[in-house]
Structure 1
Amino acid sequence: MTDYPNLFSPMRIGPKTAKNRVWMTAHSTQLVKDHNFSDEHVHYYAERARGGVGVITMEAMAVHPTTQPYKGKIFAFQEAVVKNYRKLAEAVHEHGCLLLAQPWHRGRETNGTTNRLPVWAPSSVPCTVYREMPHVLTEPEIGELVEGYRLAAKYAYEGGLDGVEVHGLAHGYLLGQFLSPATNHRTDAYGGSFEKRLKIVLDIIDKTREEVGPDRIVGVRINGTDGGVPGGLTNADWTEIAQALVATGKIDYVSVTAGTYIERMNIYGATPQPAGFQLQDTANIKRALPDHIPVVAVGRLNTPELAEAVLTRGDADMIGMTRTLIADPEWPNKAQRGDATQIRPCVGANWCLASIVNSPLACIHNPAVARETVLGIGTLKQAPQSKRVAVVGGGPGGLRAALTASQRGHSVTLFEQNSELGGQVALMAQSASYAEWQGITDWLISQIGLTQVEVKLGHRAEADDLSGFDEVIIATGSTPLKHGWSSLRPASWGDGTIVPGVDQWNVYSINEVLAGKAEVGPNVFVFDDTGARQPVVVAEHLADRRHNVTIVTRLPQVSPDLEASRDLQATYRRIRGKGVRFITDHELVSVVEDSVTLADVWTGESTVHSDVDAVVLSTGNKAEDALFHALQGVVPVRAIGDSVSPRRVFNAIWEGELAGREV
């Protein structure tokens, strides 16, 4: 028996049957080695299969050398993938899970930096993100692409996979560029009418079905809408495309997503994008297709209750999720056995996206991601000897360390000087748009409640409190700097001076504002030197309370770190819509009562802004490490997170997990 009978019922997909309706959709892992799958891939996908997933579509795989946004891309058109497909299939099939390949081409949504090749597209229209002018595909080159898709299908079959999901239609990728009149300006056999724009897709589906035969699955990933792209494809257009593809009789399912790189939050949906934000478009397509063609829905479908409701209403047949299963690979098993409250939630922070810019996939609060063999399910071993362990600090790092150490059998005492746990995550969650981030610490607190950890709130631990413990973990975090200097003035950071006026009554830190400890007047300047998320968080928090807010930064862009998490555009649109103004390329010179003087970082020209009721500083934090140093030689001690060096939530939780395993 289960609380979610539809979610955990089997589903026929062409010639195969999925054991349940949970579908892990494709996403990059950056575990690729030499354009092929690695052993880390095997462990990563096997972990999700072990966790109860019914179907897995592996990451998008190149069908041609011209689609390499970075080195970590599988070459699905090379025979070398077959051997590793077999490893993957064996590992995943052991748990009754289906496994699919996803051949694809980015088209204009890339550049030639990595492969030193021209960008290929149906017409010479550059991408808004990559901005490289594409080469217009010739008909022989289109033939090369079709051949690449054919080879990808052939090798998927030979590798023992359960099928192929043809990608490149959705998200504004190459096949979607052929389909859309906004990006296909051709006048040959592949442009103009609907039928001509569809031709390359039909050719690829024909070749794919020929290669895999009748006993393997063929599916397609499409958009539900391009998301308001001028001249782009609407939900009605995509419905017509879906009907035309199904009418071939050669596809077994349709997976529906949304968006292009013109507005990437239509694809990824970071907080505060609501759960199920793509559902209506998906439901429209579902109701236009024959009942025997399963439709996969996506778009922050992150709770079993929502998933069950979608299936009950008939809005879709399968529930697709990626980030939810990155955060907790055991999501299906926990839901099925009635432990839904134990699911580690995806909070929409998009650290998974930010992480793959320079390293393998990671989750903001699941340290095991892409490291399943050392940190995954079943790897936490009991300590050979139970110790008395003190953890000082109840932020995310301290909570993680306390939980892991307790789960290993240690007797753990957690000290927190404030009356509540949560640290700076709890402060960020005071902003309505980031309330979901509270789920990071709420989950850890709930898990600690299932252990024997003794929590001492309102207790500022000193060295004398800790001398009787066998091990001490310092997670005391950091405090904001308020000297006002930008990092363009490194000497001033060490000479004890401050920007004139930053010590007066109306200058605050972000923490003071979010904690409700600041008396902020109507007009506020937020001065940022970090380029991080916190300035836009506090700016939006104040704008929501009807303050007039201006963000000032010495950088050429406000909060450029948000580019990596792909929510910069959406954040700008949201906060600019609330009246927040930007001043870039300026640093703070002085604050004199209600006047602020700024200087252009390039010319030195100064400007005075009057009627500024408050200034909020975001110039970095200072590690709170005094207790760590005081304990040296007194008791075995280690420091984690911001108490070592102020960084990110991810780093605090990562180091907390390692410390909990090492004590």
Structure 2
Amino acid sequence: MSSDPILQPYRLKHLTLRNRVFISSHEPAYTEDGMPKDRYRAYHVERARAGVALTMTAGSASVSRDSPPAFGNILAWKDEVVPWMKALADECHDHGAAVMIQLTHLGRRTRWDQGDWLPSLSSTGDREPAHRAFPKLIEDWDIARIVSDYADAAERMKAAGLDGIELEAYGHLMDQFWSPLTNTLDGPYNGPLDNRLRFAFEVLKAIRDRVGPGFIVGIRMVADECAEGGITRDEGVEIARRMKASGLVDFLNIIRGRIDTDAALTDVIPVQGMRSAPHLDFAGELRAATDFPVLHASRIPDVATARHAIAAGKLDLVGMTRAHIADPHLMAKVLRGEEDRIRPCVGANYCLDRIYQGGAALCLHNPSTGRELDLPHAVDRADAPLSVSVVGAGPGGLEAARVCAERGHRVTLHEAAGHAGGQIRLLAQLPRRREMLSVVEWRVAECERLGVTFRYNSFADEETVAAESPDVVIVATGGLPRTEGLFEGDDLVVSAWDILSGDAQPGRNVLVQDGAGDHAGLMAAERIAATGASVEIVTAERTLAPEVMGMTLTPYMRELQKGDVTFTPTWKLIGATRAGNGLDAVLGSDYGAMTRHRKVDQIVVNHGTLPLDDLYFGLKPLSSNLGEVDYEALIAGAPQRVEANPEGRFRLFRIGDAVASRNIHAAIHDAFRLCRVI
């Protein structure tokens, strides 16, 4: 037996788990009509097959009709969920993994204009800032109904063959009762702790009466809200002790903080540039205080931290959820002794941010996550090796080289710079975002392992590429910042890239025009503001940086609001002229003919990129497909068969920003789905 702490089996009640690593309950929003159908099942099965001990499905599966989906939640109040959950559980069991589900009533953490348009409800009438809906104050008949709904949902999950359930009590209805900040009720459900816990224990007893003593029931609970007037650490410990003493609960999954705002949620589930495992020691304190099985997950991105959590006795099971979103084969690689090949979670939070924006979870640099049915994680060998030339070693080009090499092709990768990375090198100039370099470093290491030939400082032109006699050419040359578009004064502005690269030094009174709404504008503004300069961020959007989603926006705002920074939505830069030693920036509006003027000494613009596509168009006449892509084949995962020019010498494709200004995930997705069938 291995001496590795995370590979030791663990017995939870009657259930023996094969190791100490679990995937915590989370909602990837892959549901269809509120059901965990084929896409949902494939996502969990992939991770079960690779060796995780326990996969917890469905963050916040809804137990009641008046708890409508806020982000693709499973509808556990429907009987039709049973066969879908059974299919998922059975297949995961076949691969040796246990399966649980998280059940909840969202309370005020949802909206009334979803689902059946029933009023949201809570133990308070105050709205939750994150979802902006005012709930009705819960009544006695609501409580009785919801208690019964919990029991019904638990019974459905037992009928589906799951190994257990977990109740959600952080930011949801259950702990809205617990917290003095969110309980304004009169009578038996407010006041002393006994009263505030009454609803939770009524739910737990109803569940136990329905599912019996042998079914595993846990609770994911906030044990310290880190907010004045909220649940304190001491009160959290007392709640945990009472949960244990009740005999109704089999494990605790410990959380610290609040989730009612983007900023608070980001402290509970930290993102890139924030401290790893910030609540691990706290969870360990709860375990020591209760001597009860404790689970925990909160930015534990690497195997070393997971080992420490188990070896130090802080946790019984360690959650590595986003790490498994990035690499579903994480445990298989640990078991094979290939930890150095684990695709790292870089904390970019593309997964969670997309969910909270109403999309489905996707990993920034694993295009197969959530697409297991259409884009399997494994890359098959090609029938015959080809010669492939890739130009550009940004994330898209590196992915193209990696996948082609996995296929068994001979790959040469040209890069004009002396190192790989492309735009990622630029964004990593901000210290908080240096983890992004792992996107590059992992691919470089994989390419080197697979025998890709790197040619750095190679500004490849048509002759360079043609001289290699390739069968396939992939142009991944990226783009350059777009700075044109004013009615006058294009020559007076600098780009966000100029600021980040150091080609332009920050001014003292700066206007940042953000016309793309992505990271670059905020990064430039942050770097300028850090010098003590006065900064105004202007955007024609209704909101600041809409492409930078809620949780990822939090660190930017915390830095920007420290400085002399003003945010001006619904206005845009339309022109610039010299005014003495400074500049006159002219602002316009999409809402009318109004204008405003700003006297500044520097104007920085962020308008996305223009494709760097000269090489592509130079090679196009030489190619057999004339650059054409069969989109139907691309989407279906079929090889490209276009032959528009029979005299062509190679097939030609371009990907990423060489096509149009998009993001890292788009470039990697382009590369993966194209190259996996070349």
Coarse TM-score class (shorter-chain normalised)? over 0.9
Number of the residue aligned with 1:651:
666
Q: Secondary structure at the match of 1:373?
A: coil
The question of 1:371 aligning with 2:356 is answered no
Q: Is the 8 A contact 2:495 2:604 kept in 1?
A: yes
- The percent identity for this pair of structures is 30
Report the alpha carbon displacement of residue 453 of structure 1 after superposing the two structures with TM.
Answer: 1.0
Number of the residue aligned with 1:534:
520
Q: Secondary structure at the match of 1:577?
A: coil
Q: Secondary structure at the match of 1:375?
A: coil
RMSD value, Cα = 2.0
Number of the residue aligned with 1:606:
596
Cα 1:323/1:108, change in 2 over 3 Å: same
Aligned pairs for 1:238-257 (under 5 A) are 238-257=236-255
Structure 2: distance between partners of 1:512 and 1:662:
38
Deviations 1:310-339 (A, max 9, x none): 222222221112111100111122224332
Number of the residue aligned with 2:300:
301
Structure 2: distance between partners of 1:227 and 1:499:
51
Number of the residue aligned with 2:470:
469
Which residue, 571, 583, 589 being the options, matches 1:595? 583
The count of aligned residue pairs is 638
The question of 1:105 aligning with 2:105 is answered yes
Structure 2: distance between partners of 1:608 and 1:574:
24
Structure 2: distance between partners of 1:521 and 1:200:
58
Structure 1: distance between partners of 2:107 and 2:65:
11
Number of the residue aligned with 1:625:
613
Cα 1:532/1:377, change in 2 over 3 Å: closer
What amino acid does structure 2 have at the position aligned with 1:590? A
Aligned pairs for 1:454-493 (under 5 A) are 454-467=453-466, 468-483=469-484, 485=485
The question of 1:20 aligning with 2:19 is answered yes
Number of the residue aligned with 1:554:
540
Deviations 1:56-90 (A, max 9, x none): 11112110011223483322122222212221122
Structure 2: distance between partners of 1:159 and 1:360:
25
Structure 2: distance between partners of 1:211 and 1:308:
37
Structure 2: distance between partners of 1:543 and 1:337:
48
Number of the residue aligned with 2:43:
44
Structure 1: distance between partners of 2:530 and 2:311:
37
Q: Secondary structure at the match of 2:205?
A: helix
Deviations 1:116-158 (A, max 9, x none): 1111112211111222111121111111111111011111111
What amino acid does structure 2 have at the position aligned with 1:458? N
Number of the residue aligned with 1:489:
none
The question of 1:511 aligning with 2:497 is answered yes
Structure 2: distance between partners of 1:634 and 1:591:
45
Runs of 4+ in 1 over 6 A off after TM superposition: none
Q: Is the 8 A contact 1:224 1:281 kept in 2?
A: no
Cα 1:599/1:117, change in 2 over 3 Å: same
Aligned pairs for 1:121-136 (under 5 A) are 121-136=122-137
Q: Secondary structure at the match of 1:476?
A: coil
Q: Secondary structure at the match of 2:389?
A: strand
Structure 1: distance between partners of 2:464 and 2:10:
58
The question of 1:390 aligning with 2:366 is answered no
Q: Is the 8 A contact 1:403 1:660 kept in 2?
A: no
Q: Secondary structure at the match of 2:444?
A: helix
Q: Is the 8 A contact 1:56 1:99 kept in 2?
A: yes
Report the alpha carbon displacement of residue 112 of structure 1 after superposing the two structures with TM.
Answer: 1.8
Number of the residue aligned with 1:311:
310
Deviates more, 1:79-88 or 1:582-591: 582-591
State TM-score, norm by structure 1.
Answer: 0.92
Deviates more, 1:514-523 or 1:310-319: 514-523
Structure 2: distance between partners of 1:185 and 1:521:
51
Q: Is the 8 A contact 2:223 2:240 kept in 1?
A: no
Deviates more, 1:258-267 or 1:316-325: 258-267
Deviates more, 1:347-356 or 1:447-456: 347-356
Aligned pairs for 1:153-232 (under 5 A) are 153-167=154-168, 169-170=169-170, 172-228=171-227, 230-232=228-230
Deviations 1:181-234 (A, max 9, x none): 111100122222211110110011112222332332110001133232x42222
Structure 2: distance between partners of 1:19 and 1:578:
51
What amino acid does structure 1 have at the position aligned with 2:613? D
Q: Is the 8 A contact 2:415 2:455 kept in 1?
A: yes
What amino acid does structure 2 have at the position aligned with 1:479? L
Deviations 1:85-118 (A, max 9, x none): 2211221112221111211111111112222111
What amino acid does structure 1 have at the position aligned with 2:559? R
Q: Is the 8 A contact 1:227 1:266 kept in 2?
A: no
Cα 1:77/1:519, change in 2 over 3 Å: closer
Aligned pairs for 1:396-407 (under 5 A) are 396-407=395-406
Cα 1:71/1:442, change in 2 over 3 Å: closer
Report the alpha carbon displacement of residue 425 of structure 1 after superposing the two structures with TM.
Answer: 1.2
Deviates more, 1:63-72 or 1:51-60: 63-72
Structure 2: distance between partners of 1:565 and 1:651:
20
Q: Secondary structure at the match of 2:449?
A: coil
What amino acid does structure 1 have at the position aligned with 2:280? L
Number of the residue aligned with 1:430:
429
Number of the residue aligned with 1:615:
603
Structure 2: distance between partners of 1:236 and 1:338:
42
Cα 1:525/1:605, change in 2 over 3 Å: closer
Q: Is the 8 A contact 1:502 1:591 kept in 2?
A: no
Deviations 1:598-637 (A, max 9, x none): 4252572423324x2x332102211122222222231211
Q: Secondary structure at the match of 2:189?
A: coil
What amino acid does structure 2 have at the position aligned with 1:301? I
Number of the residue aligned with 2:633:
none
Q: Is the 8 A contact 1:157 1:211 kept in 2?
A: no
What amino acid does structure 1 have at the position aligned with 2:558? R
Structure 2: distance between partners of 1:225 and 1:333:
35
Q: Secondary structure at the match of 1:438?
A: helix
Note the residue ranges of structure 1 that are not aligned, 5 or more in a row.
Answer: 486-497
Cα 1:662/1:630, change in 2 over 3 Å: farther
Structure 2: distance between partners of 1:206 and 1:591:
72
Structure 2: distance between partners of 1:417 and 1:445:
16
What amino acid does structure 2 have at the position aligned with 1:62? S
Structure 1: distance between partners of 2:212 and 2:555:
43
Deviations 1:261-285 (A, max 9, x none): 2322123311122101122332222
Q: Is the 8 A contact 2:71 2:358 kept in 1?
A: no
Report the alpha carbon displacement of residue 359 of structure 1 after superposing the two structures with TM.
Answer: 4.1
Deviations 1:279-309 (A, max 9, x none): 233222222112xx21112211111111111
Q: Secondary structure at the match of 1:503?
A: helix
Cα 1:586/1:35, change in 2 over 3 Å: closer
Q: Secondary structure at the match of 2:388?
A: strand
Q: Is the 8 A contact 2:272 2:346 kept in 1?
A: yes
State TM-score, norm by structure 2.
Answer: 0.90
Q: Secondary structure at the match of 1:406?
A: helix
